[in-house]
Amino acid sequence: MSSLPLPEGEEKARAVRSLFDTISGRYDLVNRVMTFGMDAGWRRRAVRELGLAPGSRVADLACGTGDLCREVAAAGLRPIGFDFSYGMLFAARTSSPLVQADILHLPLRDGSLDGVTCGFALRNVVDLGEFFAELARAVRPGGRIALLDASRPDNPVLRAGHGLYFEHVVPFIGGVLSDRAAYAYLPKSMAYLPPPGGILSMLRLAGFPDVRRLQLTGGLTQLFVATRTNPQT
């Protein structure tokens, strides 16, 4: 992928599915190593920010191996995971129900969810606007969303260090422990993400007017949290 433009549309969907099928077996190990274990804390923060009552039904979208499902369950909520990669679902380590599905077209009734989590997958969605509209359809009024993804720190020194690490060290770690080509894609995939202001605007337009962006660990990660408003207001 190094010299080719990033894929779009259905080509992107196929490439992302193939990539995650390939790395599923060692996905958790590589995450722990390349984030120094910080990814677990980011997921816990996302679940806390939901602020939902015990027993609430929460969908974890692009659930992968079930990390966020486990955090959701530990908080006393009822998770259900969705992912379109069979490899990731096969490697999942969670007792929560899992569904193979395209998260742009969830097999759920309108307003059937109390909340949604999504960890580090916004870059991999084919159409973010369509994704946010699907969240608005599936989440009930008053329900909550917490969406995690990678970010670039605002501080210029941290930003430079992050760039070196993300673009050179991460592919090296991925190559040693898993698949170098797949982990070389990760820093390149940041180009898919709109600027933070653009994501905030898209979420407001979709029906989440109170959306906030939280920067975690000095801006290495960003978390978008919001409440679904009544579509008729």
Q: For 58-114, what is each residue's pLDDT tens digit? A: 999 999 999 999 999 999 999 999 999 999 999 999 999 999 999 999 999 999 999
Average pLDDT over every residue of 180-206: 91
Average pLDDT over residues 36-47: 94
**Model pLDDT, residue 167:** 85
pLDDT band at residue 233 under the 50/70/90 scheme? low
What is the mean predicted confidence (pLDDT) over 17-29?
Answer: 88
For the beta carbon of residue 218, count every other beta carbon within 10 angstroms.
14
CA nearest neighbour of 208 among 224, 185, 229: 229
User: For 42-70, what is the mean pLDDT?
Assistant: 97
Q: Rounded to a whole number, what is the largest CA-CA distance in the chain?
A: 53
**Is pTM, for the whole model, over 0.75?**
yes
Alpha-carbon distance of 66 to 92, in angstroms, equals 5
135-152 pLDDT, tens digit per residue, is: 999 999 999 999 999 998
Residue 156 lies in a domain: yes
**Residue 124 pLDDT exceeds 60:** yes
Structural domain for 218, as ranges: 9-227
Quick check: is 3 in a domain? no
Q: State the CB neighbour count (10 A cutoff) for residue 229.
A: 16
Answer with the residue of higher pLDDT: 1 or 72: 72
Average pLDDT over residues 218-223: 94
Give domain status of residue 1, yes or no: no
Q: Is residue 128 part of a domain?
A: yes
CATH number of the domain that residue 72 is part of: 3.40.50.150
* Residue 2 confidence (pLDDT): 41
The tally of domains found in the chain comes to 1
Q: In Å, what is the CA distance from 48 to each residue of 28, 62, 73, 228?
A: 22, 19, 12, 17
Mean pLDDT of 124-143: 97
Q: Which residue has the higher pLDDT, 204 or 175?
A: 204
pLDDT of residue 1: 39
Residue 66 lies in a domain: yes
Establish if 136 belongs to a structural domain. Answer: yes
- Is 3 a residue whose pLDDT tops 50? no
> Is residue 233, in this structure, part of any structural domain at all?
no
